[in-house]
Structure 1
Amino acid sequence: MKKLEEMSLHELWQLFPIVLKAPDPNYQRWYEDEKQKIVQHLHSAAIYRINHIGSTSVPGLIAKPTVDILLELVGSYDLDSVISDLQSLKWRVMARNDRLKTIDLNKGYTPTGFAEKVYHLHVKPAGDWGELYFRDYLIANPKVAKQYGELKLKLEQKYKYNRDAYTAAKTDFVTRYTQKGREAFNGRYRPGK
């Protein structure tokens, strides 16, 4: 059996297709459990804020059964040390940007498919991140959240085995409502506010 690192993008998309599921109240508990592990094991950097983001954070929204977590860190931190701390919790690095000081990690992807619990962790410096405004706008506007769910269902059929195309096809919607969220919540997540 191939390791995930040895698989082509096509093989990975076949193994991990876009699958949308009905809302599950357990997602919040999954988030809380993983948040506690991160807080207890991240010793190489100071945590500014941790948030549950993405569709599983919006009540009533259809979602891929993947809990997205935004971990914001304070000041200067060493990416290698942060990665080492998180790898001790079985997180796997998907992408890293040394210039922006960001890391994307996942957990729950196995050589035989998805585990019972799947996570994405987005590590960034403390900031005024759009993901938070998009989430808050959907929570505050259930009709818009419903439209987003309908869009995702259409895209699931078209791009089931192409995660990049699925994500790209949602970009205009996400950008529009992130901007509306920024207008509605005016700097709510600006560090120091």
Structure 2
Amino acid sequence: MKKLEEMSLEELWQLFPIYLTEHKHVWRSWYEEEQALLRERLPEPQVRRISHAGSTAIETIWAKPIVDIIVETEEDSDWQNISSILESIGYRCMSRTDKRLSFNKGYTENGFADKVYHLHLRYFGDNDELYFRDYLKEHQEIAKEYEELKLELWKIYEHNRDAYTDKKTAFVKKYTGAAKSAYKGRYS
């Protein structure tokens, strides 16, 4: 059996298809458990905020059963140390830029584990997802539109995460902009 690191993107998309389900209340407890672990393990003065983002944080819409977590740090934080800590508790770094690192947990050679997480390591204030989340929570008609879009795209792009995400981008940008205007300074 191939290790995940040896698989092509196409093989990974086959092993980890997009799958949506009705909201599960257990997702909140998954987040809270993981948040407690992160608070215990990560260097407190460097971590400014840990947040539950993504559709699993919105109780009224269908979502991929993957809990998105944003960890915001000070700009002078030691991301190498933070990455090592995250890897020691089961996270794998999936992408890296100068200002963002993305990790996942719960991906195995046999498919998804029972609990799956995406962790986004960012500098404090790089948190558009929190504005979008709040906007959908407070505007149920927009949340339902988002759910309908995701359900429409699901089967078309079940094995192509990049295309699935790309097709949602205009919607997400539109309402993130509206949210940042409506909630100016909420997360700064």
Aligned partners of 1:108 and 1:114 also within 8 Å: yes
Aligned partners of 1:68 and 1:119 also within 8 Å: yes
Q: Which stretches of structure 1, 4 residues or longer, exceed 3 Å deviation after superposition?
A: none
Superposed displacement of residue 92, structure 1: 0.6
What TM-score does the superposition give when structure 2 sets the normalisation length? 0.97
Aligned to 2:153: 155
Aligned to 2:164: 166
Superposed displacement of residue 71, structure 1: 0.3
Aligned to 1:64: 64
Aligned to 1:186: 184
Counterpart CA distance in 2 for 1:184 and 1:90 is 37
Counterpart CA distance in 2 for 1:162 and 1:186 is 34
Matched, 1:175 2:140: no
Counterpart CA distance in 2 for 1:13 and 1:54 is 20
Matching residue within 103, 108, 111 for 1:113:
111
Counterpart CA distance in 1 for 2:90 and 2:126 is 28
Percentage of pairs with the same residue: 49
What TM-score does the superposition give when structure 1 sets the normalisation length? 0.95
Counterpart CA distance in 2 for 1:56 and 1:126 is 22
Superposed displacement of residue 47, structure 1: 1.1
Gaps of 5+ in 2: none
Superposed displacement of residue 73, structure 1: 0.6
Task: Indicate the SS of the match to 2:75.
Answer: coil
The one-letter code of the counterpart of 1:150 is E
Task: Indicate the SS of the match to 1:167.
Answer: helix
Counterpart CA distance in 2 for 1:38 and 1:86 is 8
Per-residue CA deviations over 1:96-119 (Å, capped at 9, x if unaligned) read: 11x22x210000000010011100
User: After the TM superposition, which residues 125-164 of structure 1 pair with which residues of structure 2 at under 5 Å, given as runs?
Assistant: 125-164=123-162
Gaps of 5+ in 1: none
Counterpart CA distance in 2 for 1:68 and 1:20 is 14
The one-letter code of the counterpart of 1:57 is A
Change in Cα spacing, 1:108 to 1:166, as seen in structure 2 (3 Å) is same
Aligned partners of 1:44 and 1:77 also within 8 Å: no
The one-letter code of the counterpart of 1:75 is E
Aligned residue pairs: how many? 188
Aligned to 2:48: 48
Change in Cα spacing, 1:16 to 1:64, as seen in structure 2 (3 Å) is same
Counterpart CA distance in 1 for 2:87 and 2:45 is 14
Superposed displacement of residue 67, structure 1: 0.2
Counterpart CA distance in 2 for 1:189 and 1:128 is 9
